[in-house]
Amino acid sequence: MTKFVTICMTPFGESIAGTLCNFSLSAAYEVCQALPEAMFICATPDIGNHLANQNITDGQTDKMAWLYYSKVRALINQIAQ
């Protein structure tokens, strides 16, 4: 996860995987709010910095996290069939 956050923070990561980074880091941000001890990455400000740089607010992260989880779940269900 730390490497993924680092990639998202680079200009290359923002240009190539910007949308994926925004959605996945929003999901991680929500997990960190609910269970801060769950992930090591929660102790660093990188996720919050990325979201702030992208002008993504706390209310938006809720919606983005649910969209991200629903798409990932649908993809896993499709692969499992």
Mind listing the pLDDT tens digit for each residue in 4-30? 677 777 777 667 667 778 888 888 888
Distance of CA 41 to the CA centre of its chain: 11
Output the DSSP codes for 25-69: HHHHHHHHHH-TTS-GGGGSSHHHHHHHHTT--HHHHHHHHHHHH
Distance of CA 19 to the CA centre of its chain: 10
Domain layout of the chain by residue ranges: 2-80
pLDDT value of residue 26: 85
Mean pLDDT across 44-64: 83
Nearest to 42 by CA among 52, 54, 28, 56: 28
pTM of the entire predicted model: 0.66
Sign of CA dihedral 56, 61, 66, 72: positive
